Amino acid sequence: MGAFAYTQSVENRMSFLIRAVLASGSGLLMWLAQAPVSLWPLVFLSLGTLWISVYRTTIPRSIIFGFLWGLCFFIPNLAWAAIAANSVLALVALAVSQSLFLAVLGAGWSQISYLPHVYAWISGAIAWAGIEHLRGIMPFGGMPWGKIAFAMNDSPFVRLAPIGSTLLVALAVSALSILIASSICTLRKNPYRAASSLALACLLFCAPLLSPIGGKPEATVNVGIVQGNSPTKTEIPDGWLRALQVTRNHAQMARTLNKADLVVFPESTSDRDIRTDPEVQELVNEMSHQLGVPIVLGTQQYLDNGRYNDYLVVEPGGSITARYSKQHPVPFGEYIPLRSFLSDLSNATAELISQVHIDMLPGESMAQLTVTTAGGELRMATPICFEVAYDDIVAAGVMGNSAPADIIVVPTNNASFGDSGEPYQQFEMTRFRAVEHGRSAIQVSTTGVSGLIDPNGVVRYTTNVAEQHAVTLPVILRHELTFATRTATYRYYCGHILAVLTFALAGFSRRRNNC
């Protein structure tokens, strides 16, 4: 009996180690699937391997395996957080917070895997989509970075974006991944079922090809895109002088543009308020006069209790005719939740949050601006920077109040992220939004990546990182709304329902297994 118990103990430890290695490795595979590496087929391998690692194991073990998957994905995927904050603590805190969601998923999947085959892979997909939705809305408004949909722009599954946005893509991709993994798990016991499941998987993989994307162009407009670049803190240590140089860089590059109907500049074109600072006001007025067309640029408005991150329409005469203020400031990056509590928590946290000395305030209007060009009114959905990751913000901007947007413009400032993958990850999100809403999308950055994407997701133009660049490009305009755009509000609540179903299915599976 003693020898038998010892053998069982060794086997259990080996099983634990093998599953832990599988979970950790599959997390790394998901990192490689995302930009900038962008090996999208690895998404299926990653999710399928995670399913196998938690397959019919105990809840405590599955929590550990899910958490390991999360750490091995989020730490490299969000490595730019350490660069931006100049602190590894920021990266660790962010990665751990996101990995906790995967720990919950691991527990859910381990119980769902006891369900019969068809119910298991459908319920597993619901659980993935539900947890991904939760991660995107909480805490402090959520962190949708790393959604699997943003890795699928070169796959057939991006064709589901105009129907159901990131939620439908998550359901389809996770369902297919679990179907394949479940087939492998049952291969010995039931090879015929496994073979039929793999055949079904092939059909599901090809099914999205039947969904059309893009639509017909309805008009074009010539848009100037200006990427002025930003000096480093080493080159100009003083932040106020560095902000002035950024504005000068963009004004200089704007002079090289060919004739355009409209010129778009990035977020933080001037971190000094162009409405109150005489030096930058003169630069902007001179630039708008020389260009002779409306310009749209990013600036800040400073108040006693905080600041707004604004995107403004400036007419050739210098008058400001429209304003959008960023409605979802980044927690711990642009404002500090629980500031007083965290300041007293430890010296390390106090030092970290002191870097955000002026909290950004949330704007109240939707992300849409109207510009009057020579060809008539042009409406732009204008999610600022990280807002492009949020389904509801982009959809509301495209939908509009009185009329839909004709194009999507994503102004961003990537100067704080060094040579990390962040600019490329964000560009893939912008690319996904182009397909989802059937709109041309422009990402315009201070330091890159800037570029133009057609409504079908084809990249027409990109810049390199850390260079000055200005170009005028013909941009396709479309007015027809996709199903995903029209149903965005309902889909948001569908995500809530999937999140509730995740826990209900896991609980039902556990009770069924115990009976």
pLDDT tens-digit series, residues 264-279: 999 999 999 999 999 9
Q: Which residue has the higher pLDDT, 103 or 513?
A: 103
Q: Which residue has the higher pLDDT, 321 or 200?
A: 321
DSSP state of 481: P
Average pLDDT estimate for 146-157 = 98
Work out the pLDDT band at 11, boundaries 50, 70, 90: low
Q: Which residue has the higher pLDDT, 493 or 511?
A: 493
Contact 69, 26 (CB under 8 A): yes
Work out the pLDDT band at 217, boundaries 50, 70, 90: confident
Work out the pLDDT band at 515, boundaries 50, 70, 90: low
Spatial separation of the C-alpha atoms in residues 102 and 71, rounded to whole Å: 9
Work out the pLDDT band at 344, boundaries 50, 70, 90: confident
Is 1's pLDDT higher than 60?
no
Radius of gyration of the chain (CA): 24
pLDDT exceeding 70 applies to what percent of the chain? 96
Contact 314, 288 (CB under 8 A): yes
Work out the pLDDT band at 194, boundaries 50, 70, 90: confident
Spatial separation of the C-alpha atoms in residues 25 and 8, rounded to whole Å: 26
CA distance to 107, 244, 337, 432, per residue, from 163 (Å): 30, 44, 35, 12
Average pLDDT estimate for 41-51 = 98
pLDDT exceeding 90 applies to what percent of the chain? 79
Write down the pLDDT at residue 340.
Answer: 81
pLDDT tens-digit series, residues 128-138: 999 999 999 99
């397959």: which residue's tokens?
Answer: 55
Average pLDDT over the chain, rounded to whole?
Answer: 93
Q: What residues have CB less than 8 Å from 232, skipping those under 6 apart?
A: none
Least confident range from 36-45, 156-165, 354-363, 416-425: namely 354-363
CA distance to 242, 299, 445, per residue, from 236 (Å): 6, 20, 20
Spatial separation of the C-alpha atoms in residues 417 and 422, rounded to whole Å: 7
